[in-house]
Amino acid sequence: MAHQSRMSIQEVAPEARRAVLHLTEYVRGGGIDEGLHAMVDIRASQINNCAWCLDMHTAEALAAGVDQRRINLVAAWREAGSLFSEREQAALALTEAVTLISADGVPDRVWDDVTAAFDEKEVVVLLMAICTINVWNRLNVTVRTELPDEPFVP
């Protein structure tokens, strides 16, 4: 059973929402592939149980050309073998480590894999993407943002 929304941040403090949108705009302009960005957003949103973000980012992944099978298997990317590239695996591992940062921090192995697969600027954009989706997840889950009646269309 869905919970009733606690508040609308947009209605109460639109400037707060705009501040996070600026982070999103930076990430979207940072040169990371849209499909990879969507998979990062999906993985963090799965961990954080954010239905609103999962609805949105799975639609974005499809629109960016990510195969439905790969979207279905993002949560089990480690077991999916070569279905995910080394670059995608590195990004998803960093997503998990940063999203669950209180568990083990970001292990050196995860950092080494990311810095081998991405240049320094891309690492910054990827890290900002992970942090930004975690902000959105935490806002939406906390205030119980309700799913729209219709699926998200990018």
DSSP letters, 103-128, are: HH---HHHHHHHHHHS-HHHHHHHHH
Q: How confident is the model at residue 10 (pLDDT cuts 50, 70, 90)?
A: confident
Q: Is the pLDDT of residue 4 over 90?
A: no
pLDDT at 27 over 60: yes
pLDDT the model gives residue 1: 54
Separation between Cα atoms, residue 134 and residue 139, nearest integer Å: 9
* Measured distance CA(23)–CA(4) in Å, rounded: 28
Lowest mean pLDDT, pick from 54-63, 112-121, 139-148: 139-148
Give the model's pLDDT for residue 46.
98
Residue 148 is predicted with a pLDDT of: 85
Please report, for residues 46, 80, 92, 112, 150, the alpha-carbon distance to residue 72 in angstroms, rounded to integers and kept in the order given: 11, 11, 14, 27, 20
Q: What is the dotted CATH code of the domain comprising 16-143?
A: 1.20.1290.10
Mean pLDDT of 17-39: 96
**Given this model, what pLDDT does residue 2 score?**
61
Mean pLDDT of the chain: 94
More confident residue, 154 or 143: 143
Task: Find the mean pLDDT for residues 18-33.
Answer: 95
Q: For residue 3, what are the CA distances in angstroms to 11, 51, 138? A: 19, 11, 16
Please name which of 6, 3, 63 lies closest in space to residue 35, comparing C-alpha atoms.
63
pLDDT band at residue 141 under the 50/70/90 scheme: very high
Lowest-confidence region among 46-50, 119-123, 147-151: 147-151
What's the CA gap between 78 and 90, in Å, rounded? 10
Q: Is 85 helix (H, G, I), strand (E, B) or coil?
A: coil
**Which range, of 71-85, 105-119, 140-154, averages the lowest pLDDT?**
140-154
